[in-house]
Structure 1
C-alpha cells in the first residue's frame, strides 16, 4: 500500500495502474490518497484489542514466559474472550485471531515446554526460590519499600467447612469416641488480606448463591464484604470487586503498595491489572508449589484461624444440643474465630518466617519438607503494567 501511494504521489502513476501493479484494492488506495482513511490504517476488520492493549498483552505474556510459566494459546484466547465479554461484545475469539495476533507481533511464538520432573517438583527448588527472592528484593528496593511494613500486603483465600473437624476429646482409653457434626460438606470461602505491620483488612465472604439473605450476615465481622458465585469460589469478577471496592478502600493512602498473592487465574482480570497499575499497587506472584512456605497468611494466620474455627463450631454444638452449624450461624462463629486468631503477633510472624519482612533470603535454606503438589496451578505474573 505504501509503495502504491508513493507511486501515485511521486511518480505520477494513475491510481488504477498503481493498484494493479502493487496488488492493492483500487478503492482502498483512493481512500488513503483522498484522506478519507489514514495512510497507515491497516486493511481488514478492526482488531478486538487496540494497538496499546495488544502491546500490553505482549508485555504480560513475555514476563510470564521469562519467569518460566508461559501461557498456552488456549489461555491467551480465553483472556481476550474475557475482555470482549466485559465490553458486551458478542464475538468468539478463535484461532484465526491468534494467527493474526502472531503476525502483528512476530516476536511471539509457540514453544514446547520442558517438562518438570515429579522428583524435582517434590523438592524445594533452590533456583526458583533464589529467583523469587531476587525479584522480591529488587522490587522492594526499586520502589523504596525497605523498612515500610505498612505497605507490604498478602492476600489469599481459604475454605471454612461447616462440618468442621472437632478438637481432640477426652474419652476412656480404648473406647470409640464420636461427636455430632452438621453433615454439610460445604466450605465457605473467605478472603483475607494482611500487612507486614500486623494490620488486617476485614474479610470477604463468598456465598454459593444468587442473592444474599440479611440473615447470613448476623454477627459479622465489621467491614465484611460479600461475594456471590455459583460454586462459592473466587472468580475474576469477584476478585475485581474485592480489589476495587474493598482493598483500595482499606489500604493506606501512601503508595506504592506491594501485594503478594498466589497465581490463581482469578487474580488477573485485565481490568484489575490495569487498575492496580494506575493505583501503584504492585501485584507480585508467589513461586509455584511453595505457597505453604512462602505465603505469610498460610504460615502465620490460617493455621490458628482453622483451629479457632473448629473450636467455635464445637462449642456451639456443645452449648446447643440438637442443633447443627449451618450457613446462618457462620458469620457469628467465624467472627469469634477471626478475632481470636488474626492477631498482630500472628500476622507479623507470617511475614517474618517467610522471609518477606524483614527480608531474609536464607529463610528456606534448611527446609526439608516437600511442597504440597497440586494445591493450585501457578500463573506467574510479576509486573506493574
Structure 2
C-alpha cells in the first residue's frame, strides 16, 4: 500500500452472499447412498422453493459503502417487476441483474467492476491508485477483469483460499450474520404461519 500510496478512502472490500428464498425447514430425508453420490438429487434435500438471489456488497475503509448489486435467478435474463416493486430509487441506490442460477458470472463480475465500482469510486480516487480486496471467485480474477483494473489504477488483492470466513471484513462482520439472521427469521415466520 505504501508503494502505491493507497489511502483508506481508496481501499475497498467486495464480497457476495447467496440466499435461498422461501420456506426453509430442517426435515431429514433418507436416500440410497448410490443415488446421493451420483449428485442426481440437486436440492432434493431442501424443502420449499429453490429461488436464489446473490447480494454483491462493497465497503470502503473510510466507512462508506457502494450500492449493492442484486443478482436474481432468471433463465429469461430479465428482471421481473414483482422483484423490485417495493424498491424506491428516490430513497435507495442499488443495481439489479439476473443470471440463469442467481449467481455471479465472469460477465456480471466485469460489468460490476466497469459500471458500478468505477462509477462510485473514480471521483473520490481522483488520479490515485485504489485497492480492492476480493475472494478468489473466478469472476473476480479473469484476465479481462485484472487487465481493466490495471489500466484504471486499481490493484486487486485476492484473499487466500478458504480464508474469507475469518479474514474478509464483509464476510465476518456483515454477510455471515445477515445470512444467519435471515435463516432465523424465515424459520420463525414459517412456524408462525403454520400455527
TM-score w.r.t. structure 1 length?
0.39
SS of residue paired to 2:67: strand
Which residue in 1 is equivalent to 2:142? 269
Distance across 2 between alignment mates of 1:237 and 1:285: 19
Q: Judge conservation of contact 1:208–1:232 (CA < 8 Å) in 2.
A: yes
Q: Tell me which structure has the larger Cα radius of gyration.
A: 1
SS of residue paired to 1:198: coil
Which consecutive unaligned segments of at least 5 residues does structure 1 have? 1-139, 167-180, 323-385
Which residue in 2 is equivalent to 1:215? 82
Which residue in 2 is equivalent to 1:153? 12
Asked if 1:188 corresponds to 2:53, the answer is yes
Query: Which structure: greater strand fraction?
Result: 2
Equivalent pairs counted in the alignment come to: 166
Deviations 1:300-337 (A, max 9, x none): 11122123423554566578x47xxxxxxxxxxxxxxx
Q: Judge conservation of contact 1:257–1:282 (CA < 8 Å) in 2.
A: yes
SS of residue paired to 2:78: coil
Asked if 1:201 corresponds to 2:71, the answer is no
Q: CA deviation at 1:202?
A: 1.5
Residues 1:313 and 1:219: Cα distance change in structure 2 (over 3 Å): farther
Q: CA deviation at 1:155?
A: 0.8
Asked if 1:142 corresponds to 2:15, the answer is no
Moved over 4 A (4+): 314-319
SS of residue paired to 1:201: coil
Asked if 1:290 corresponds to 2:160, the answer is no
Aligned match for 2:101, one of 231, 236, 247: 231
Deviations 1:339-381 (A, max 9, x none): xxxxxxxxxxxxxxxxxxxxxxxxxxxxxxxxxxxxxxxxxxx
Residues 1:192 and 1:307: Cα distance change in structure 2 (over 3 Å): same
Q: CA deviation at 1:187?
A: 2.8
Distance across 2 between alignment mates of 1:246 and 1:280: 16
Distance across 2 between alignment mates of 1:309 and 1:219: 19
Q: Judge conservation of contact 1:236–1:269 (CA < 8 Å) in 2.
A: yes
Query: Which structure: greater helix fraction?
Result: 1
Aligned match for 1:299, one of 163, 172, 181: 172
Which residue in 2 is equivalent to 1:177? none
Q: CA deviation at 1:268?
A: 2.6
Q: Judge conservation of contact 1:151–1:252 (CA < 8 Å) in 2.
A: no
Residues 1:256 and 1:280: Cα distance change in structure 2 (over 3 Å): same
Distance across 2 between alignment mates of 1:208 and 1:187: 6
Which residue in 1 is equivalent to 2:28? none
Which consecutive unaligned segments of at least 5 residues does structure 2 have? 26-45
